[in-house]
Chains A and B, each alone.
Chain A
Amino acid sequence: MSIKKISKEELSQLVSTLIASGDRVEGVQAKDDKFAFGPLTSADDLRLDYDVTLLSPRKYVLPPVESLMTFEVGGRYQSEYDTEKLTLIGVHPYDMIALNQIDQVFSQDEVDNHYTTRRKNMTLIACDVVTPSENVFASSMGTATVSEGYDILLTDIGDAYVADAPTEKGQALLCNAADATAEDLAKRQAVQERNQSDLNRHPLNCKIEDLPQLLEKAYDHPVWEEKAASCFSCGSCNQVCPTCYCFNVQDDVSWDLKSGTRSRAWDGCLLENFANVAGDHNFRKKRNDRFRHRLYRKGKYVPEKLGIGTACVGCGRCITACVPGIANPVDIYNTLLNDIKL
C-alpha cells in the first residue's frame, strides 16, 4: 500500500472511533507537567507533540507485575495469558526500536508465550518526534527514526500527518485515507532528517558499532568506581529503561494454603540482590560491579547477543530519573573514549 496522508481532524475521528469500539485504547497524554501513556477516553487527550513519556511502552508488553499461572500446591497448574486487544498510540521511534529489541529477546530460545500473546494482540501506532526532550540522544544511537515494527507510523508535517502503514492491521485503519503527495513525502523526509541530527542533547563521540570494542578494554577503568560511589542502587535507571526486560518471579498462596499464584515483577541489575543466587552468593555484590554491568548490557552484551547496533536507544529517561545524576550512558562512554584508544 502506498503511503497515506490524513488530516489532524481525520486522525482525531479515527481515534474516537477506536475508543467508541470499546476495545482498549491507550495513548500519550499530559501528566502534570510531564507526559505518560495511559487509557484514552477522549481523542482530545492524545498529545502527539509530547517530548518523552515517564515510562516507556514496555509496560504494555511486560507489565510491572503480571500473573503467570495459578497452581495447586504440589499439584496441577494453569498458565494465564492476557489476550485483550490493545491499540497503543504515540510510540516514538526510539521506543519502537526498543520494543523491536525485546520482541526479539522474548521470541528466541525459550519463547515467552505470556509476552508474545500480549504482543500479538497489540496494534501499534508510532509517531516521529515533534518536540525533542531535555535529555534525548537518539540521534547518537541511530534510533531517531524507525523503519519497522509499527502498524502505522505518523509524521507531523504541520497541517496533517503522513501515515505509513506496512501491516494489514494498519492498512485497515487507513483504508479511507488519501495517498500522500510527493510534496508530503518531502516534508516527511525533512522531519526525519532533522530528527536524525537534532535529537542529540548528549552527543556520543564514537560510532555505536565501536562501543563493544571500547567496553572490551574498559572493564577495569576507574570511572565505574567513581560513579558508583554516588549510586543509591535504587534501580530507577532500570525501571524507566525501554530496553531493560529483567524480571523476578514470586509465588504466593491463597488463604486455603492449597492454591496459589505465580507472578513476575520488574527487576533491575542495579539492585543489591539482583545477582543473589542459591547459597546466598551474590556475584555482583559491589555497587561498581552492578553500575558497570548496566553499561555493558547496553553497549556490548545485548548488542552482541541480538546482533543489533546498541541496546541503549537514547531516550534519556535514565538521565532524568537518576537523582545523583550519574546514569548518563553517553557521559560514561565519552569518558572512556578520552582514555582508551580504539
Chain B
Amino acid sequence: MSKPRVAIFDFACCEGCQLQIVNLEEEILDLLGVVDVVEWREAMSEQSEAYDIAIIEGSITRPEDEERIKDIRSKASILIALGACASIGGVNKLKNNFDLNDVKKCVYGDAADMPHLETAMTKAVDEVVKVDFKIQGCPVEHDELTYVLRSLLIGKTPEIPDYPVCVECKAKGNICRWEYSEQCLGPITRAGCGARCPSANNRCFGCRGYVDNPNVDAAKDVFEKYGLTVEDLKSRMVLFGSKQGPTL
C-alpha cells in the first residue's frame, strides 16, 4: 500500500505549530516512515497539487485566503486544523474586537492603504471550509499531534478530550490557581496539554479553546464569588477566546 500523501500549509500564524512538527526531532523520522510529505513550505522546497491529508496552520484573515483554503479542501480527503489559529482563530481574532481600518493603521502606519495589506475579519478554518480534525493549542502538543496522525493512519477516529484542563491539572496534584486568586480559565478550557501552564505555576490562558459545552454562567458566578466582574472575565478570555464559537 502506498503511503498517504501529506501537505502542510500555513495561513496567518507564527508558524510555531509547524515548528512543533520539526521539533519532533528523531520522531520525525518515524513520521516520514509512514507518510509522504509532498509540500511543506517551512521545511522543504517541493510543492504538490496531489495530497490525501492537508494540515493547515493559521487562521483565515484575507479574502484571497478563503479561495486558497477552499482549493486545498477540494483536493484533500482529510483536512486537519493545526493549532489555535487554525482551530479557533487564536490571537488573530483579537483584531475582530476593533475597527479594521484602525487595526491596519496601528500595524502598518502610513502604508495601511497599500492594496496587498487588505485585511478582513479573522476566521477559524472551519468558518470557511469543513474541518475533519482539530489539534488544539498554542502551540500544539507533540504527543497529541502524533497520536492523532497515527490514529488516522490506522483508520481510527482519534479521541480528543472534551473535558476541562482541571482534569489533568488535578491528576498532576497541582494546587488550584484559584486558591491564589488567579483567574485561571482551566474550568472552561479543553484539556490535552497536561495542564502545562498551571503545572508551571501560571493560570490557564485558554489557548486550546473552550470545551464543547462550557458553563459560562458558572464562570460568571465564580467571578462574582471572587469579587470580579463580567468585564474581568472578558478581559481574561479575550486573548484566545475573542468571538470564539463552541469548538470541536
Contact = CB atoms under 8 A, between A and B. Distances in A.
Contacts of A265: 171
A85 to B, nearest CB: 22
Contact of A233 (B33, B151, B164, B221): B164
B175 interface: yes
A95 B187 CA distance: 26
Interface in B79-135: none
Given A55-B173, A73-B154, A230-B221, A239 B162 contact: no
Contacts of B212: 272
B163 interface: yes
Contacts of B175: 31-34, 54
A119 B186 CA distance: 33
A69 interface: no
Given A54-B175, A266-B171, A324-B225, A235 B215 contact: no
Contact of A324 (B163, B214, B221): B221
A234 interface: yes
A73 B31 CA distance: 19
Contact of A64 (B166, B171, B186): B171
A231 B164 CA distance: 12
A265 B168 CA distance: 10
Contacts of B163: 233-235, 268, 271-273
Interface residues of B, number: 39
Q: How large is the interface on A (under 10, 10 to 19, 20 to 34, 35 or more residues)?
A: 35 or more
Contacts of B25: none
A267 B170 CA distance: 12
Interface in B160-207: 162-164, 166-167, 170-176, 178-179, 186-188
A272 B147 contact: no
A272 B171 contact: no
Nearest to A237: B170
Contacts of A73: 154
B233 interface: no
B43 interface: no
Nearest to B27: A255
A232 B187 contact: yes
B153 interface: yes
Contacts of B218: 229-232, 324
Given A34-B175, A232-B164, 17 more contacts: A31-B175, A32-B175, A55-B171, A229-B217, A230-B215, A236-B166, A236-B167, A239-B166, A240-B170, A253-B150, A253-B154, A255-B31, A257-B150, A272-B163, A272-B213, A323-B222, A324-B225
Interface of A: 31-34, 36, 54-55, 59, 64-65, 73, 229-236, 239-240, 250, 252-255, 257, 265-266, 268, 271-273, 287, 320-321, 323-325
25 contacts: A54-B173, A54-B174, A54-B175, A55-B170, A59-B173, A73-B154, A229-B218, A229-B221, A230-B217, A232-B188, A234-B187, A235-B167, A235-B170, A239-B171, A252-B147, A252-B150, A255-B33, A266-B167, A268-B163, A268-B167, A271-B167, A272-B162, A273-B163, A320-B176, A324-B221
